Amino acid sequence: MCDETRTYVSFIKLLDNYAIRSLDPEFPLGEEEHEQLDFLSLILSTKPIQLARNYINEELGETLSEQQFRLKLQRIWFELYTNYYKGKSTHFASGFEHVFVGEGKYNIRSGDKRETLGTISGYHSWVKFYLDEQNQRVNFLGYKYDLRGNQGPNNPNVVTLQMTQNVTDMGGNVIAKLFKKKGGFFVGPSPECEIALATVASA
């Protein structure tokens, strides 16, 4: 298996390690932490991550060794923190969860309560969207081009869209339906490329 394929496989293993409901606590298990470390080990030797480290060291004045850079990646992407935004706090947040998995804000359905839509924040992964669509967990509601600029899909490498996402319990029953009014993601870059870009942007 080539390195690029291995990073996709390792990345996909991480996608089910998070409680989608933002109010639910996260307690990473030993196996999940092992998956995080495996992913970091795999991507450290890839060209995008090496370029990111070189840029941070040469252009931003850092002097990060490979081990120090690994710790930086682990802190940025997998360390849990509390996110304060618009007077509200979200506990048990992580960079990886927000960017690649998404966080749901919703009330769990009970009995014959009237259906209400929750919301999705984050969720900027074309790989996750592809997998969710294949497994009928998301519904693409169309392109969303109400931003200033050229009209229509002139850039096939970026998608701006509306979508709904079904949250199911262990029995496959839908317990919540989430709506994203406007979301987006790059299409095509490898997980290590997206990690590298965002790490440089946050450095």
86 flagged as catalytic: no
- Residue keyed to tokens 């496989």: 9
- Using CA of residue 169, residue 173, residue 178, residue 183, what is the dihedral sign? positive
Residues sharing a CB contact under 8 Å with residue 69, sequence separation 6 or more, in sequence order: 44, 53, 56
Which of 98, 113, 128, 177 is the catalytic position?
98
Catalytic, out of 13, 72, 105, 124: 124
Give the closest residue to 191 by CA, choosing from 73, 94, 31, 57. Answer: 73
Active site residue 180: yes
Q: With the C-alpha atoms ordered 32, 38, 41, 46, is the resulting torsion angle positive or negative?
A: negative
DSSP string, 65-131: -HHHHHHHHHHHHH--EEEEETTEEEEEE-HHIIIII-EEE-PPP-TTPPP-EEEEE----HHHHHH
- For 13, other C-beta atoms within 10 Å of its C-beta total 16
124 has catalytic annotation: yes
Contacts of 39 (CB under 8 A, 6+ apart): 7, 10, 11, 13, 14, 191
- Active-site residues, by number, are 98, 124, 180
